[in-house]
Amino acid sequence: MVKFKAYLLLLLFLCKASATLATQQSPPKVVALAPHLVELIFEIGAGRQIIGVSQYSDFPEDAKDIPVVGDYQSLNIEKIVALQPDLIIVWQTGHPVKDVEKLKALGFQVAYSDPRSISDVPQELIKLGRLLGKQSLAETKAAELTTALDNIQQQYAHKKPVKVFYELWPDPLSTIGASSWPSSILALCGAYNVFDDITNNPYPQVNIEQVLARKVDLIIQPLSDNQSAKSGFQWQNWPDIKAVKHNQIIQPDADKLHRMTSRAVEQVAELCGQIDNVRLFYQS
């Protein structure tokens, strides 16, 4: 009986010690290889766990101090190996497959982020929360975003469509197809992407004659602090386009709108309001 009691006490001690070690375990160190990932990780309170980022990860301000280990063209494998992250999170379509596969072959744990539409952002938060031990806050933030998106959709669901040309890049002139991220945003606002009939390419190049033929009500020209062409396409040279004739051109913040984050949802609410003003302009 004495031996049994001693064994039981030892077992209880080992269980308690294991639980203590589990609670003291350090949170995973992560390399986040996309600006939207960095923003989302900071938002769920795990920013200090990031030890490496990709180029243009400039929000929030603290992200600028984290070492850059690659961009959309290539990853610096040597830098990443030297950092010894516990987890590498990559944008599914944002990096060369060969670089990601090399990291996996070296034994690193790799997770993927692949938001396709604005409605995917809440799920991205939840996924990151589970990976980084911040599930509770992530679920709270995700619920807030879902409510905000539902409210936007309800507000504009029955509005008269506004025909929009979305300028993704000025030279060569590029726009968005049906399966693109911005197209999901326009749908929330009750707007119609005039190149929505392009289903085989999310970001096609077009010419000015094609734009002229689409009878565009509004030109959306997102601009970024990081892009070289600050002014965008010179639409003033084409007054035959309806939107140009009536000066219906808006320039939202591309750094907010094109990143799959909570800031994008805030920017969408503002954009939908601007589109509604254009709708009222043509109805007056």
pLDDT in tens, 44-93: 999 999 999 999 999 999 999 999 999 888 999 999 999 999 999 999 87
**Does some domain include residue 212?**
yes
pLDDT in tens, 101-114: 999 999 999 999 98
Give the pLDDT of residue 9: 41
- The domain boundary, picked from 81, 116, 151, lies at 116
Give the pLDDT of residue 228: 54
**Does some domain include residue 61?**
yes
Residues making up the chain, counted from first to last: 284
Domain check: are 109 and 176 in the same one? Answer: no
Domain check: are 188 and 95 in the same one? Answer: no
**Does some domain include residue 276?**
yes
pTM over 0.75: yes
Domain check: are 109 and 166 in the same one? Answer: no
Give the pLDDT of residue 227: 57
Q: Residue 226 pLDDT more than 90?
A: no
- Record the tokens describing residue 203, joined without a space: 């970001």
Cβ atoms of 226 and 253 within 8 Å: the answer is no
Mean per-residue pLDDT, 221-225? 87
CA distances, 43 to each of 60, 124, 169, 173 (Å): 9, 12, 29, 34
Total domains in the chain come to 2
Mean confidence (pLDDT) of the chain: 89
Give the residue numbers spanning the domain of 39.
30-116
The domain that contains 209 carries what CATH number?
A: 3.40.50.1980
Domain check: are 100 and 173 in the same one? Answer: no
Q: Residue 192 pLDDT more than 60?
A: yes
Give the pLDDT of residue 73: 86
Residue 2: pLDDT band (50, 70, 90) is very low
The number of beta carbons lying within 10 Å of the beta carbon of residue 240 is: 8
Domain check: are 178 and 96 in the same one? Answer: no
